[in-house]
Amino acid sequence: MLAEEHPQGTTTIVGCQVRYLISSAHGWLGAVGFSASALRLHARDTWMGWNDKQRTAHLHRVVCLSRFLIRPAVQCRHLASHVLGRVLRRVGADFEARYHYRPWLVETFVEHDGACFRAANFACVGPTAGRGRCDRAHDGPRTVNRPSRCGRYTCARPPPPEGEKPLEWFLLTSVRVESIEAALETIGHYLRRWRMEDFFRVLKSGCRAEHLGFHSAERLQRALTIQAVIAWRLMLMTLLGREVPECDAELLFSEIELRFLADYAADSGLSAPDTLAGAVLLVVLLGGYQNRKHDPPPGHQIT
């Protein structure tokens, strides 16, 4: 398929590699191939900010999208960027399963506009010198692209409880950071960004916004507006119930809501909600939460 339909034909993929065929009910739509990254790239190495020692030690963490084909006979809008997005979401896990390490970065080379790569969150870091891996040909410069990212920072939580492994995570960001204060500020931004991700998770999983069956944009917009308020309320209720459970229930619930919860508690043989945690517990019991000893704290979907 690549030999006959890819503009550059087939190639010998070197190093660690993962390959995919794109299939559908209508047949084979294309192919994707990942391989080892280029040994040296001035634009990439400058953008990464690493020296020769760091590049040698960590180059295997960069993989190259060496071949990407959507067959010319396939005419489907946005298919290329959709396929790229899906492949990029799973290639890390597939590399880890096969080679026991997870890549940090994907690079590729384009000789054209590359709209599908931009749609898949790739960004241009500069041109190449036009030389191949083995330096046997000088075919002209190409553009180096990689998914957006700029700095890599290691974050660790305080010492964990006895018997637990310490939590360590890495932040990859496109924000320019030149001091520890700026790094801490950037981490704070991403912590707040996680709340936004949490909100959309509640909107999609808790409110099931993706399952709305409206046929007009106007009706869908109205429904999403209402569900966005509900999702915000659910997220805030769950968060405050965990962070400040001892606060008064009036912090989040109105008088009529508390009267309803008190009536429900009386009918169910439970205690009236005198704290925020008690009120939230009654709400999640209405949603199907069992409140057994081994159950984890209720999440957004149950709430």
Count the neighbouring beta carbons within 10 Å of the beta carbon of residue 35: 20
Q: Which two three-digit tokens encode residue 37?
A: 């990254």
Q: How many CA atoms lie within 13 A of 56 on its CB side?
A: 3
Domains annotated on the chain, with CATH: 2-149 (3.40.630.30), 207-286 (no CATH)
CA 302 to chain centre: 23
Report the amino acid identity of residue 213.
G
Residue-wise over 229-257: b if at least 16 C-beta within 10 A, else e? Answer: eebeebbebbebbeeeeeeebeebbeeee
Secondary structure, 3-state, the chain: CHHHHCCCCCCCCCCCCEEEEEEECCEEEEEEEEEECCCCCHHHHHHHCCCHHHHHHHHHHEEEEEEEEECCCCCCCCHHHHHHHHHHHHHHHHHHHHHCCCCCEEEEEECCCCHHHHHCCEEEEEECCCECCCCCCECCCCEEEEECCCEEEEEECCCCCCCCCCCEEEEEECCCCCCHHHHHHHHHHHHHHHHHHHHHHHHHHHCCHHHCCCCCHHHHHHHHHHHHHHHHHHHHHHHHHHHCCCCCHHHCCCHHHHHHHHHHHHHHCCCCCCCHHHHHHHHHHHCCCCCCCCCCCCCCCCC
What are the pLDDT tens digits along the chain (303 aa)?
Answer: 777 888 777 777 778 889 999 988 888 999 999 999 888 888 888 888 888 899 999 999 999 998 898 888 888 888 998 999 899 989 999 999 999 999 988 988 877 667 888 888 788 888 877 555 544 554 555 555 555 444 555 555 567 778 877 777 777 777 777 777 888 888 888 888 878 888 888 888 878 887 888 888 888 899 899 999 988 888 888 888 888 889 998 888 899 999 999 999 999 888 888 899 889 888 888 878 888 888 877 776 555
